[in-house]
Structure 1
Amino acid sequence: MFDVVADVENYHKFVPFCKKSDILTRNTNNLTANLVVGFPPVVENYTSHVTLVRPHLVKAVCTDGKLFHHLLTTWKFTSGLKNNHQTCIIDFYVSFDFNSPLYSHLANIFFNELVRQMESAFYEEAKLRYGKPSIKTIQLRI
């Protein structure tokens, strides 16, 4: 799952509402990407700084402040079942605040559905790359 989430340059191929994903700079543990997101007629772009700590963490922060007042997404991966190394526990966190009151209002209305679609897109991409899950996905509540 780490590799799917870290594959920012291909987000435009599988992440809902991501129209373009270009890597601007990259080194071993960091990259900067320009992402074009939205659905017509609303399409915007922003720059994201992504920190990669294989295989445990993918953290993305919006760095240009044009579209978002702030945007932070964090994916944490920990070992899953002891007897099944093809499993992991994913802790996904997102925090954002749009600069536009209209975008903020729309995001608040559709937030749960947007998160569900994004989460599903990453699972589906993993399924395409690696085959069906080794166990049924279980959502843990804390």
Structure 2
Amino acid sequence: MASITKFVRKIHFKTPEKEKQHFARKLVGFSSEEMFNVVADVKNYDKFVPFCTKSTVHSESTNNLRATLEIGFPPIIESYTSNVTLIRPKLVRAVCSEGRLFHYLENTWRFSSGLKSNPRSCIIDFYICFRFKSLIHSQIALFFFDNLVSKMEKAFIEEAGKRYGQATVPIYPLEVVKT
């Protein structure tokens, strides 16, 4: 009986992966400029990004901003601060600079031309890579990561629809090109 209990503990309490990464590439029916505007609108993330309960921009210039996001769901709510690089309309890249939640976090959105026949389309390359400081957060991420990332990507595209109207083409997943 003791050996069964040990086996069950190993299954349920296995050490989570220390680093999580996700790459995605999609063709969407919004222009690079439209998608850039949505992703760069950090001050409004709390209105449309899942599990973002507060978003505060501390400083902002043409190509950079510094912001703190509060994420989670009660009773687990944490915040972190990121430095965000903005290259209109091609790139939004956030790197966590401080907080108790992550050892590091990088979140990159790249926007490039979509269909030649449809200027209101673009290709989104989305990348996120992070490592939690807490074993509890790592364990939670192990179970919810794919679902959370999918909801997050979808939220930005849905927000583009709310701001700019119906997409000109359906979302089409593409093969990821890692550089």
TM-score (norm 1): 0.98
The unaligned stretches of length 5 or more in structure 1 are none
Whole-Å separation in 2 of the counterparts to 1:108 and 1:92: 20
1:15 aligns with 2:67: no
Instruction: Please name the residue that 1:89 is paired with.
Output: 123
Equivalences for residues 1-142 of structure 1 within 5 A: 1-142=35-176
Deviation readout 1:51-73 (Å, 9 max, x if unpaired): 00000000000001421001000
Q: Which has the higher contact order (CA 8 A, sep 6+)?
A: 2
Give the percent of matched residue pairs that are identical in Structure 1 and Structure 2: 56
Could you say which structure has the larger radius of gyration? Answer: 2
Whole-Å separation in 2 of the counterparts to 1:72 and 1:141: 21
| Aligned residues between the structures | 142
Whole-Å separation in 1 of the counterparts to 2:68 and 2:123: 28
CA RMSD of superposed structures (Å): 0.7
Whole-Å separation in 1 of the counterparts to 2:50 and 2:56: 16
Whole-Å separation in 2 of the counterparts to 1:61 and 1:2: 17
1:15 Cα deviation after fit: 0.1
Instruction: Please name the residue that 2:17 is paired with.
Output: none
Whole-Å separation in 1 of the counterparts to 2:144 and 2:54: 22
Whole-Å separation in 2 of the counterparts to 1:34 and 1:124: 23
TM-score (norm 2): 0.78
One-letter amino acid of the counterpart of residue 74, structure 1:
T
